[in-house]
């Protein structure tokens, strides 16, 4: 089992951001940025990937963004993309990072894009799995997966069974039986501490007009059966990013890094190895 150490960093406005870490501290840093949803955290989103990246010699960084995991979950605020990005960047700098490759899923992909735009010298490479924030917020909130996710979160009917239903919505039906009960329970424990504002007051811009400004190498991975972020958005990156490659997976939903873990680990470590 891979050893994981956890540190909490106090950032602006008094928020605490939890950063987990595994691997050789002298290796190239790879920051895994989780997506949104009830119970999301760095470890629960990327547990099937950590060991492979550590074995490949990388310093694996797993932050919990504000509102998620063990980090602060303030109420009565808008959860903007800039808030996610600024608090994450401040925590990563406090953690001693000066340059890193970013691996972002869903909302985490949007945060990775914003971080690359705001701090281009910090970001070495971008690996994006079904990234969000490349369409208006309203377009995402009519996607079937997000509609199901938002409808019950925080209500009296939100229980462990509902948590399991939401997690299985992230993956293709063929993969759903493989989701372990321990993962569902882990996310449910986090979800019970999250205010509804985390989802209901999320505010994300459409970054697609700025994709041409992303100069770092970009690797996009997408499931063809994604019900949260449409696979057609991969074309936005292919059309506008100056240095990009993309791969899609059949019979795969929103969690490429989970549903196709072995392939994901091989493809992404090869991509990063070539650009060390």
Three-state secondary structure string covering the chain: CCCCEEEEEECHHHCEEEEEEECCCCCCEEEEECCCCCCCCHHHHHCCCHHHHHHCCCEEEEECCCCCCCCCCCCCCCEEHHHHHHHHHHHHHHCCCCCEEEEEECHHHHHHHHHHHHCCCCEEEEEEECCCCCCCHHHHCCCHHHHHHHHHCCCCCCCHHHHHHHHHCCCCCCCHHHCCHHHHHHHHHHHCCCCCHHHHCEECCCCHHHHHHCCCCEEEEEECCCCCCCHHHHHHHHHHCCCEEEEEECCCCCCHHHHCHHHHHHHHHHHHHCCC
| Strands lying side by side in the sheet with 100-105 | 5-10, 16-22, 59-63, 29-33, 100-105, 123-129, 218-223, 244-249
Active site amino acids: 254
């Amino acid at each position: 089992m891979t050893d994981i150490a956890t540190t909490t960093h106090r950032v602006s406005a008094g928020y605490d951001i939890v950063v987990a870490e595994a691997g050789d501290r002298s290796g190239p840093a790879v920051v895994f940025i989780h997506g949104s949803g009830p119970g999301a955290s760095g470890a629960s989103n990327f547990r099937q990937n950590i060991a492979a990246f550590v074995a490949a010699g990388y310093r694996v960084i797993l932050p919990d963004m504000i509102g998620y995991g063990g980090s602060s979950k303030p109420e009565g605020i808008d959860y903007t993309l800039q808030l996610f990005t600024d608090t994450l960047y401040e925590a990563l700098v406090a953690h001693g990072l000066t340059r890193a490759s970013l691996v972002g899923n869903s909302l985490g992909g949007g945060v990775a894009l914003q971080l690359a735009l705001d701090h281009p010298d910090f970001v070495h490479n971008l690996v994006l799995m079904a990234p969000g924030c490349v369409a208006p917020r309203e377009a995402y909130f009519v996607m079937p997966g997000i509609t199901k996710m938002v409808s019950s979160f925080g209500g009296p009917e939100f229980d462990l069974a509902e948590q399991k239903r939401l997690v299985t919505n992230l993956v293709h039906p063929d993969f759903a039986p493989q989701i372990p009960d321990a993962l569902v329970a882990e996310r449910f424990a986090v979800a019970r501490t999250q205010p509804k504002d985390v989802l209901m007051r999320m505010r994300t811009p459409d970054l697609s007009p700025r994709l041409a400004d992303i100069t770092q190498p970009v690797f996009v991975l997408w499931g063809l059966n994604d019900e949260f972020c449409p696979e057609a958005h991969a074309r936005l990156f292919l059309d506008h990013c100056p240095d990009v490659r993309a791969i899609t997976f059949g019979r795969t939903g929103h969690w490429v890094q989970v549903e196709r873990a072995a392939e994901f680990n091989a493809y992404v470590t090869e991509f990063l190895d070539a650009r060390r």
